[in-house]
Chain A
Amino acid sequence: MNRILVADDDADIRGALRIYLEAEGYEIVEAENGQEVLDLLGKSSRGLLPELQLILLDVMMPVMDGIICLHKIRENYNLPVILLTAKSENSDKVLGLTVGADDYVTKPFDPVELIARVKSQLRRYLLLGNANSCQEDNNSSHLTIGGIDVYDDEKKVTLDGEEVSLTPTEYEILKLFMLHPGKVFAPAEIYRNVWEDPVPGAEGTVAVHIRHLREKLEIDPAEPRYIIVVWGQGYKMTQGN
């Protein structure tokens, strides 16, 4: 049973979050502000409370706001923190991620997306090891970036440990990205590398395939974490956050 700390000054929102998350089988602990979050974390680390696995943290809270609270959390803890905030500006997201948030969800949130992100963070934290016990896999047929694992021998792809079914073209595109993380591929380049009989001028189909790939691998395809659109240039793979 994973325990999630929900910090928000609005009791109704805490209530809604409790309903959604408890329906998924998580145990919920509530906090009204940043100071309470720190107190609860301190208690759990001293063994007074059961251990917490994830924090949903609102940014705008009285007493101590989410950004300062996150900053203090990161001094001692490495458990995943998802910021939950009404602030949707890019600069706010960048600030949150810089301070140490693992993910960012804007209010009003889509419950499905929120739960997907919570699950993703928990899986990565628990399965891939909170002590960074990332299994050192010398098998060259196994590629891993963020929560995505590609097992080339089995032609199998997993996202946060759950298998994802891809078409052969999508699989080839993903493999190309996984082999060169961070590199920006122009659509024409992807087309040349993936398609067996490239027809000139048909690069437009690449965008469609990548869109599909994103829909399968990303929680929110419009705000991708792994397969990023570099507008006007191409696409690239990142480590996620």
Chain B
Amino acid sequence: MKKHWKNRTLFKVLIPFLQIACITSTIVFALLACYCLSRGGDMYRASRQSVEQASRAAVTKNYSMIAATHVADKSYGRSALSGTNFQYGIITGHRSDIDGYINKLTASDLTDPKLYAYQNFKDISRLTPDNTKEVTILHYPCSKWASYQSYTDGPFSVGSVYVDEQTVTHTIKGFGLEKNSRTPYVLADGIWYPLSEDTEYTALIKENQKTVFSYADDGTDERLPTREEIRELIKHNHYSKKNTTAFYRIRYGYNMEGSDGYLYIKPEEMKEFDATKLADSKISTLTATPDTLTTFSTLDNDAEDEAIVVSYVPKELDMSLDDDYVRNQNFIHFFFDHRYLFIALSILSFLGFLVTTALFLCLAGHTEEPMPSSKEENIRKLSDGTWLQRWGIARMPMDLWLLLLLCFLGISGAWVESINTGFGGLLVHGVAYCILGGLFAELLLYVLVVNLKLGNIVKRTLLGRFILALVNINNGTQIQKKARNGFIIVTVLEFLAFLVMSSTSLGGVHSDVFGLLFVCWVALRVVVFIALKKGTDILSQSLDQAVTERVRAERFQTQLITNVSHDIKTPLTSIISYVDLLSKESLDNNKAEEYVEVLTRQSARLKKLIQDLIDASKASSGNIPLHTQRVNSSVILSQAAGEYEEKLKTAGIELQTFVTAGSPDSDNPEAKEVYILADPQQLWRVFNNLLSNITKYAQHSTRAYVDLEEVNGRIRFIFRNTSATALHVSADELMERFVQGDASRSTEGSGLGLSIAKSLTELMGGSFTITIDGDLFKAIVDFPAI
């Protein structure tokens, strides 16, 4: 048999891969086109020239940076830049207004070789202001701390110059005070370093551990006191010499991690000097920041030096040289020669993507033969004999898949941020991104399509399942409903608590953390909840099963009894008919007549027994269709009594009927009708059985009572009579099937009447009780009043 294409494994494997390949190439080609076009300025008006110019400017910037960062080591980038089209000269020296200087330079002559610390122009005379287009003047930091970082590649990428903030650590050899500026200095390797402005320092005088003077405390003299001045202060203020100490205090380590504290220097240890009288080499221009008790650091401020790079790139490049100019130009030529091809390929592969996607949508889920032991909900047979199936990952809840995809997107955001390796890198990452993202999206699409095809999409999400479970509990057991309500209440309370907690930001913990914890907690309980529901479902299911099985068994029993009865009735018909015919024959034998009379009686009883058997079986199994309606209780009782009055009279029994329910009394002067809910036909059968029992079993020449009472909102029909024979059985036994009050079973009747009456009453929602008090037989049929 030829397989339908949808069921071929080849297509199943091939199409998703083709799809991913197509979207990847779409993105790659589109990326290529966009990248090149956007770098050439306005994307729509990009020309070869503008793109080339952009590329050249980028390369010139990079080469200038290389040159500038090699100023400090005096190599001027010779090794890196020789053999390129880049001709340049470097102007060094510290200038305050570097942009102004450059403007002046461009206006004036650049042809003077003395201007440059280094230059390799082939023809310096070409650097006239007329050739400004070929001359580029740029300036970059050039200290020894500066370095060139080419963090990207590709024809348009521009690197940058990093300047390390270089600090040097020195060991403190001594402290000093400059007499004129009154600033503290630290000594290291024979050079004095002034303390940086940020450093905190003071002079203190303490008497008996109590600070009596600190520098600038009095506000009159803001200059740090010298040793002499301190001595004078002590003397002037009459501090007791014995208990007075004086010192300079310098804060260290305040801007560093780790320990910080104060350096205490006695006035004797503080060397005093005059900076003007020392050689320049002895005084540093760098400032000192004390780091620890024994060290300080200085910040190298040479880093701000910049070099001016004047470069010349001829319009016509020397194509024999292997440099970035040549490479880029070749690449751009290649791109511009093929740009329409790229765009066409991009569009084509996008079309391919659309087609493969459509094919994928068609074949998703189709299969020749479903996996064995698949659940009903996961498969569906199609008209052509093949199957739709949900298998493997497609069975995973869809919102979990969505969550995975979102996670991927989140991660890929960080991934995109980290891409800094230029155009080539971008391409590689783009392809990887497309393939990975494509796989994720493909799987999600597959899951979605299969679920859509098989239907019941709400059930395929965790959220949907959870909500459905909550809703379905309405038909569940009482326990399940309680659990659901409890779950909702607790979750709402927790949510409120979470809101309060997040708004107060307890203990400085971020509210996001609370949010996450809350979501995790609720998710955990959702899982527990679903598990619990599953458990109770299984429990109630088995219970249901047991009940239905019992009902089925009873129904079967009823069916059996009915069918057997029908089969018995046919021979019984002949027996009864011929016994009847026999009794009409003139038999000249008294005994024979007596026997025929027994036969007549017993065959009649058999007939009754069979009918009662069917009724009892139906009533006890609930296999009787009920037409429940409002029934006027007093009317039905008087009707029933009327039906039997004559029969009872012939049996010598006087029937007394008392209706107290609904009749006028002191509380309700108006008589009212009292109604109950019952099937009137079946209720008559109950009364019929009870009244016929009275005719059969009541003592001759006694009264029988039929009462109608209303007690606590319940209507009671009470039948009382005096039994003709002694009742030696209990009330419960009487209601059993085939039990008769008299042990001899001589009278007519099947012994099923009470059983049928009880079953029918209970079927209609009433209750049926029998009490026996000596010879008094009492049956109560009880219904709620409406």
Contact = CB atoms under 8 A, between A and B. Distances in A.
B683 A13 contact: no
B569 A16 contact: no
B578 interface: yes
B569 A207 contact: no
Interface string B632-665: 1101101111110110000000000100000000
A190 to B, nearest CB: 11
Contacts of A186: 635
Nearest to B688: A222
Interface residues of B, number: 39
A204 interface: yes
A13 B577 CA distance: 8
A219 interface: no
Interface stretch (A130-138, A171-179, A227-235): A227-235
Contacts of A211: 642-643, 645-646
A187 B574 CA distance: 42
A18 to B, nearest CB: 11
A231 B639 contact: yes
B570 interface: yes
A107 B576 CA distance: 10
Contact of B645 (A207, A232, A234): A207
B601 interface: no
A107 B569 contact: yes
A133 B553 CA distance: 55
B784 interface: no
B573 interface: yes
B678 to A, nearest CB: 8
B634 to A, nearest CB: 9
Contacts of B570: 10, 13, 86, 107
Contact of A12 (B574, B633, B683): B574
Given A207-B645, A211-B645, A187 B638 contact: yes
Contact of B632 (A13, A88, A210, A233): A233
Interface in B560-598: 562, 565-567, 569-570, 572-578, 580-581
A16 B680 contact: no
B611 interface: yes
A65 interface: no
A108 B639 contact: no
Given A231-B631, A231-B683, A13 B646 contact: no
A60 interface: yes
A187 B639 contact: yes
A111 B645 CA distance: 27
Given A16-B577, A111-B580, A206-B642, A230 B680 contact: yes
B423 interface: no
Contact of A232 (B562, B581, B632): B632
Interface string A201-225: 0011111101110000000000000
Contacts of B645: 207-208, 211
A232 B634 CA distance: 8
A173 to B, nearest CB: 12
B541 interface: no
A95 interface: no
A230 B627 CA distance: 13
B271 interface: no
B681 A231 contact: yes
B387 interface: no
B631 A232 contact: yes
Interface string A26-54: 00000000000000000000000000000
A99 interface: no
A87 interface: yes
A233 B635 CA distance: 6
Interface string B608-645: 00010010000000000000010111011011111101
Contacts of A17: 577
With a 10 A CB-CB cut-off, give which of A212, A231, A232 has the most chain B CB atoms: A232
Interface residues of A, number: 33
Nearest to A59: B566
Contacts of A88: 611, 614
Nearest to B633: A232
Contacts of A126: none
B684 interface: yes
Nearest to A231: B680
Interface in A1-16: 10, 12-13, 16
A86 B573 contact: yes
Contacts of B576: 108
Interface in A154-189: 186-187
Given A204-B642, A208-B642, A211-B645, A16 B578 contact: yes
A107 B573 CA distance: 6
B638 A111 contact: no
Contact of B635 (A60, A86, A108, A187): A187
A16 B636 contact: no
B39 interface: no
B249 interface: no
A211 B691 CA distance: 15
B578 A204 contact: no
Contacts of B339: none
Given A13-B573, A231-B631, A231-B636, A210 B578 contact: no
A232 B646 contact: no
Interface in B167-191: none
Contact of A86 (B569, B639, B642, B680): B569
Contacts of A109: 573, 577
B607 interface: yes
A116 interface: no
Contacts of B684: 229, 231
Contacts of A210: 642
A12 B578 contact: yes
A68 interface: no
Contacts of B572: 107-108
A111 B577 contact: yes
B683 A232 contact: yes
Contacts of B567: 86
Interface in A49-107: 60, 86-89, 107
A127 interface: no
B566 A203 contact: no
A170 to B, nearest CB: 13
A108 B573 contact: yes
A60 B577 contact: no
A16 B638 CA distance: 41
A233 B643 contact: no
A90 to B, nearest CB: 9
Interface of B: 562, 565-567, 569-570, 572-578, 580-581, 603, 607, 611, 614, 629, 631-633, 635-636, 638-643, 645-646, 657, 678, 680-681, 683-684
Q: Which 8 A-B pairs have the closest CB atoms?
A: A207-B642, A231-B680, A232-B631, A16-B577, A86-B569, A232-B636, A108-B573, A232-B680
Given A206-B638, A231-B639, A231-B683, 11 more contacts: A16-B581, A20-B577, A86-B566, A108-B569, A108-B577, A187-B635, A204-B638, A207-B643, A210-B642, A231-B681, A232-B683
7 contacts: A16-B577, A86-B569, A109-B577, A206-B638, A229-B639, A231-B631, A232-B633
